[in-house]
Amino acid sequence: MAYSIGVKRARGPWAVSKEALFYIVLIGYSIITAIPFLWGILTSFKSLPESAKSPPTGIPLHWTLSAWTGQYGVLTSGNFPRWFVNSLFVAAVVCIGNLFFDSLAGYAFARLRFPGRNFLFFLVLGTMMVPAAMTLLPVYVILTKMGWINTYQGLTVPFMVSAFGIFLMRQFFMSLPVELEEAARVDGLGRFGIYWRIALPLAKPALATLGILQFQGNWDSFLMPSFIANTNNMLTLPVGLQHYSFQFTTFWPEVMAGSMIVIIPILIMYIFAQRFFIEGIASSGVKG
């Protein structure tokens, strides 16, 4: 619900200008937010010489697709299609893995009693405090020893369980009314059956939030995949983009086009599902 701080109820010229000020600030900030994306997209349709011009041109003088389909074009010469597929596959597998494993563990923590339950949960919480930087090395070494470097297993399995996900699902399951499950027990459903048939379907909102966050998080993930995958065919999109950009450092139209390929799918997903995105973040912050 909205209310007005500092704006007296009376509507006078002073009140109006304050509101105008607010709009100016908001619109101004929206412009700041939007400009880099616009700049990126516009540049991707310029030719290389035009992109290097100083002073820079805004709308391209000559629209061209050379950055997309030309000699070093991202769609034709870079391995972007392959990287796109890789990212899609990896993000999807990690997402599904998370949905399954995090809800399993979350449910167990919420509803099943077994010795050591609290201890294990503290363990999970503890790792949430560990900076990602600390797990770089060991994960890399472990994957090396297992021979999983540069494989799809290496890109997916370590990320199939997330402490955040376990925590989220546990919170949710704890908020479910126990009566439903008790009734199911009376009806003769086993533990797994209760989980699978009763709790999980009820968890759809939480699962949707978790799924979207995991998919987006993994799609954008750069640090870990950058040292797990190294032959060209195995790179995910952000890593491929980085390699491509380091190789063609100042082919700006091409690099911008590559950036767009990474951004646009999530943008589309975001537009359709932004309610979930935003509310997921908001609730995890506010309600804890």
Partner 1 sequence: MAAGSTPSQPAALPAAAQAAAEPLATVRWRPERRYKRDEMIMGYLFVLIPFAIFITFSFGAMIFDFWISFYHWAILDSPRFVGSANYNYLWHIDTVWLTALGNTAQYCLVVVPLQTVIAFTLALIVNQNIRGRSFFRTTFYFPSVTSSVAISLIFLFIFNNFGLLNFLISELPGHPSGPNWLGDPAYALKSIMGLNIWTTTGTLMVVFLAALQDVPREVLEAAAIDGATGVKAVTRIVVPLIRPALFFVVANGLIGCMQIFDQAFILSQGSGGPNYSTMTAVLYIYIQAFTNSYYGVAAAASAMLFAFIFVATLVVRRLIGGEEGR
Partner 2 sequence: MRASSFLAKLAVAGVVIASLGVAAGTRTVAPTQAAGSVSLATWSSNPTEQAGQKKLVDSFQNKYGTTIDFQVINGDYPTVLKARFTAGTAPDVFYINSDYFQDFASSGALMNLDFLKNVKSFGYDQYYKNLQVGYIYNKHIYGLVKDYSTLALEYNKTMFKKAGIKAPPKTWAELQKDACKLTNRANKVYGISLSADPARWAAFLIQAGGGSTGGGGILNKAQTKAYIKSAAGLAALKFYAGLVQKGCAARPDQVGAGWNGEAFGRQNVAMAIEGNWITSYLQQTFPSLNWGVAPLPVDKKAGNLAFTAAYGVYARTSNKSNAIKLLEYLAGKSGTTVWSHVVGYLPARKDVKPPAGTKVFADQTKYAKDWFFPPGFTNRALTPIGNDIQAVMDGKMSASSALNDMQNKATQALQNVP
Residues forming the site for partner 2 (CB under 8 A) = 48, 52, 54, 89, 93, 96-97, 100, 140, 144-154, 156-157, 160, 190-193, 196, 226-227, 229-235, 239, 243, 247, 249-250
| Residues 12-31, interacting with partner 1 (CB under 8 A) | 19, 22-23, 25-26, 29-30
Q: How far apart are CA 97 and CA 172, in angstroms?
A: 18
Using the rule CB under 8 A, is 131 a contact of partner 1?
yes
Pick from 32, 59, 178, 186 the residue near partner 1 by CB under 8 A.
Answer: 32
Q: Which two tokens stand for residue 111?
A: 């509803």
Residues 226 to 285 in contact with partner 1, rule: CB under 8 A = 227, 237-239, 241-242, 245-246, 249, 252, 255-256, 258-260, 262-263, 266-267, 270, 274, 277-279, 281-285
DSSP, res 220: T
Pairwise CA distance, residues 90 & 85, whole Å:
8
Task: Write the CA distances from 174 to 38, 179, 254, 265, 273, integer angstroms.
Answer: 44, 12, 50, 34, 25
Interface positions, 36-65, toward partner 1 (CB under 8 A): 36-37, 39-40, 43, 52, 54-56
In terms of CB distance, is 15 or 157 closer to partner 2? 157
Q: Are 280 and 213 in contact (CB under 8 A)?
A: yes
Q: What are the angstrom distances between the C-alpha of 54 and each of 57, 126, 248, 253?
A: 8, 52, 20, 15
Identify residues 166-185 at the interface with partner 1 (CB under 8 A): 166-168, 170-171, 174
Rounded to a whole number of angstroms, the minimum distance from the CB of residue 230 to partner 2 is 4
The tokens for 247 are 């190789």
Task: Determine, following the binding rule CB under 8 A, whether residue 2 of this chain makes contact with partner 1.
Answer: yes
Smaller CB separation from partner 2, 53 or 117:
53
Q: Which of 117, 286, 273 is nearest to 207 (CA)?
A: 273
Using the rule CB under 8 A, is 79 a contact of partner 1?
no
Which residue of 10, 118, 177, 188 would you call a contact of partner 1, by CB under 8 A?
118
CB proximity list for 234: less than 8 A, separation 6 or greater: 86, 150, 151, 152, 155
